[in-house]
Amino acid sequence: MAGPSTPRSREDAKKRKREQNERDGQAKRLRQRGKQSPGKHLKNGQADAGDLRDNALNVLSQLQKTLTDDQIESQLVKLGNTEAQEAGWQVSLPMGGRMADIDPIFAENEKYLIITYNTSLQIYSVAESLLIRRIVLPVVQNTYAEKSSAPTIVATRQSQVKPDFLWVACSDGRVWRVNWKKGTAVYNEFRTQSQTALDMSVVAIDGSNNKTEVIYVSEAKKQSRGEIVAYFGPDFTQPTSEVLFTTKQVDQGIHLLRSSADGKIIVGATREGLVVGTVAPEITQTDVGLECEFFTFDTADIVCSLDIRVTNNKDGSVLDLISGGARGAIYFYNDILRKLQNINAPKSKKDGLQGRKYHWHRRAVHSLKWSKDGHYMISGGSENVLVLWQMDTGKMDHLPHLSGSIENIVVSPTGASYALHLDDNSAMVLSTSEMKPSTYISGIQSAARFTSTPKDLLVKRVWSMSDE
């Protein structure tokens, strides 16, 4: 309930009314002054549209009297008239991106994980899952603006001679050497002789005094045969090259390439076949020579993944090979090199090349790796399940409910961790003892166009009446 009004409160009310009337009067006087002087600006700093138009016409008429047409256009461009420019916008350099279908790399005693993106290399701390360094790669250039497809990164390998450096191969044949530890400028080392690259392997061959770094590159041009070419240093700006193997059929590229650490065994995969070869290096003080012998045989399925394990015994090197097919089967070829070398012997049996079959995946085997001790093999696909196969018994262990399809699997050098790259643009590091993630790296979860045919679509599973 309001109390009785006092004389003081009534005076305050009168004062408030007077102040409001005074403000209205001041506003009216200001508006009147504005009408009397239209050429002056208002108190808030905005000018009348008509005055601006008149001023612009006056300036333009003065320019026409004193300047030429070209000079007028340049002056308008300086004033911000974007219509006089041919292009009023530009595209910035690509940033971020998606993880490429390339195996991650454990570096420096498994302290760092190097992940290849479609435009850069990114180095992460395994202990903290934090980005340490990002190295931009000059993948896309202005020279590819008129072409239908831009080049892509196809392989990233760590140098066997200088672990601080990485070798990165691009689909147009460019091969760079990158110092991942310092993050300095990318060294544009050389370009392959065919100006193409499908896969790459880096090895260190023992010489008389020190190790020599050799780069194996699988190349293939359209309407030509696939090749395995070796490039020698030490000056990789103009390396010496030697063709080691050439396919018999045209358009039969070797899309997967693996080799032993010493470079004496090379394994490649075509669409429906495998290539196995041995290399005997001859290194002198001035030259490097490679004597090689290769064998080829067909497989029962399209090869999507591949891994090798080389051990030594008293009889020589033992090569155990596993390959994953597009229909979900895994084939294990035990001591395949010895069987291929003895295939023309009298007591040899041709069925000795038949691999042992393991089948659990419904679709393509995206990635396949040997364990450190060779007692297990690890596989992954579009089922979002990591599968561990025991080689002796054939039993399986599963790690289900992952966030996406498994694209790449890497076993750490000590065998204590697995690095997984998933198709949802994420990666994680699992401990082999507990199978729990110790590192998780996530990128932007967005859709992206395919740069190559997905492995699950290599086999046609649905037909229509028009196809028959």
Q: What is the pLDDT of residues 91-147, one digit of tens each?
A: 666 666 789 999 999 999 999 999 999 889 999 999 999 999 999 998 875 444 445
**Count of structural domains, the chain:** 1
Q: What is the pLDDT of residue 290?
A: 83
pLDDT of the residue at 37: 45
Asked if the structure places residue 323 within a domain, the reply is yes
pLDDT at 31: 47
Main-chain phi, psi angles of 10, to 5 degrees: -65, -40
Task: Please check whether residue 66 lies inside any domain of the structure.
Answer: no
Q: Please name the residues in contact with 292: beta carbons below 8 A apart, sequence gap of 6 or more.
A: 244, 245, 266, 277, 278, 279, 280
Distance (Å, whole) CA 304 – CA 153: 18
How much is the pLDDT for 184? 77
Quick check: is 409 in a domain?
A: no
Cα gap 173→195, rounded to integer Å: 4
pTM of structure: 0.77
Q: How far apart are CA 226 and CA 232, in angstroms?
A: 20
173 φψ region: left (φ > 0), alpha (ψ -120 to 50), beta (else): left
Domain encompassing residue 197: 192-327+329-361
Q: Cα dihedral sign for 426, 432, 436, 437?
A: negative
State which H helix or E strand residue 420 sits in.
Answer: strand 417-422
DSSP reduced 3-state for 101: coil
Q: How far apart are the first and last CA of the chain?
A: 92
Other Cβ atoms within 10 Å of 23 Cβ, number = 10
Low-confidence ranges of the chain (pLDDT < 70): 1-57, 59-88, 90-96, 141-148, 284-287, 345-352, 447-451, 463-468
Burial class (CB in 10 A: 0-12, 13-18, 19+), 271: middle
Flag whether 145 is in a domain: no
- Sorted by sequence, the CB contacts under 8 Å of residue 91 that are 6+ apart come out as none
According to DSSP, the β-strands at 376-381 and 316-325 are: unpaired
State the pLDDT at residue 348: 52
Comparing C-alpha atoms, which of 326, 320, 332 is closest to residue 358?
A: 332
Rounded to 10 degrees, the C-alpha dihedral 174/409/429/213 comes to -40
- Dist CA 123 CA 133 (whole Å): 5
pLDDT tens readout for residues 142-165: 444 445 578 899 999 999 999 999
Beta strands in 172-313 (DSSP E): 174-179, 187-191, 199-206, 211-219, 225-232, 240-250, 256-259, 265-269, 273-283, 288-298, 303-313
Q: Is residue 313 part of a domain?
A: yes
pLDDT of residue 70: 60
Q: Are 169 and 196 in contact (CB under 8 A)?
A: no
Task: Let me know if residue 248 belongs to a domain.
Answer: yes
Q: How many CA atoms lie within 13 A of 118 on its CB side?
A: 18
Q: How high is the pLDDT of residue 41?
A: 44
Q: Are 267 and 254 in contact (CB under 8 A)?
A: no
Asked if residue 292 is part of any domain, the answer here is yes
Instruction: Examine residue 235 and state whether it is found in any structural domain, yes or no.
Output: yes
